[in-house]
Amino acid sequence: MRVLVTGGAGFIGSAIVRYLVGEERVQVLNVDKLTYASNLASVAPVSHDSNYALLKADICDPVRMAAAFADFQPDGVIHLAAETHVDRSITGSAAFIETNITGTYVLLEAARRYFENLSAKRRDTFRFLHVSTDEVYGSLGAEGMFTEETAYDPSSPYSASKAASDHLILAWHRTYGLPTIISNCSNNYGPYQFPEKLIPLMILNALDGKPLPVYGNGSNVRDWLYVDDHVRALFLILRRGQVGEKYNVGGRNEQTNLGVVERICELMDRFNPAGFSHRRHVCFVTDRPGHDQRYAIDASRLETELGWSAKETFDTGIEKTVRWYLDNRAWWESVRRGVYAGERLGLDGKRERPLAAVKRDAK
């Protein structure tokens, strides 16, 4: 099997590349623009494998995308290339519109023209999987979960751009017969995640003795999905998912943001004792605009129809994640020296204002 993966040097993308090449022995073409969030060190474990190839290209380039399909002749596409950080979308929405919407359109057109020229036998098995987010659904109240039928209600430029791309994916199936599938996942975490995101940022700040800033009062709830569980789901959906449909992927691991940070502090106290509790560095800062209160994924369809289930609980997954960052300094130190030093994003020219410190008695 030959799979074209877009964004394969990013966090989830590199995980699916390592999984497909290393465990499933699938031939992979990694199409990546190599933006700030890309890191070729994340695919280093398989980079010399004969089943792996890299194409540095922008999905917004129609000539390069058409050539990628023609040259590689994929049996399937897993489309992950996207701008993904909500905070960055607040102050730099143009890149999100360009990559997430225009880029998806360009890729769909390249896939459509390629698909139309395949033999009938290959058209029967070709699939285009678009990887999206639960953020397209907006915010939940205290009860309920997102299902595949939940109406879209995006709150940020990021989630709006992903919602638009989801609609393009469905339209290209309905209008042109392109065999597309959409997956909508909850918050991913795990090894190799770019440290602008909550969990790696808190681990590295705790390691450096820096403040651990929590938005608002820390009560926002997310459903956390370990990245290795997610990539197993993606390959399953690509192979066995129903064309024209959607599959929600979630870990059934709801946690408040404050609870996540406190759990990281507990693990850092165990694995990297500092003579005091790392919780002393937790502080609340002004919330970001449009911050959704709660996400929760109902993954019943994926579980019942395709037989998938998450292997990691939040406790097992977060422990593996903390240990990985402690054991892999070379990977994240190069990021911190180069493209991102841990500063707060999405302030739109405003200075960060601490609201309160969380005082904890320490040993």
**Which residue numbers are catalytic?**
134-135, 158
**Phi–psi pair at 253, nearest 5 degrees:** -130, 70
Torsion sign across C-alpha atoms 325, 326, 330, 335: positive
Q: Which residues, other chains included, contact 283 with Cβ-Cβ below 8 Å and sequence gap of 6+?
A: 211, 212, 213, 214, 354, 355, 356, 357, 358
**The two three-digit tokens of residue 310, written as one number:** 């998450």
> Whole-angstrom Cα distance, residue 94 to residue 98?
6
The residue whose two tokens read 């998938």 is 308
CB atoms within 10 A of CB 149: 8
Q: Which residues, other chains included, contact 338 with Cβ-Cβ below 8 Å and sequence gap of 6+?
A: none
Residue 176 burial (10 A CB sphere; 0-12, 13-18, 19+): middle
Q: Strand locations in the chain, DSSP E?
A: 2-6, 27-32, 52-56, 76-79, 127-133, 180-185, 187-189, 212-215, 221-226, 246-249, 254-256, 282-285, 354-357
Nearest to 8 by CA among 152, 141, 192: 192
In degrees to the nearest 10, what's the CA dihedral of 76, 244, 86, 215? Answer: -120
- Name beta bridge partners: 215: 285
Q: Map residue 322 onto helix, strand or coil.
A: helix
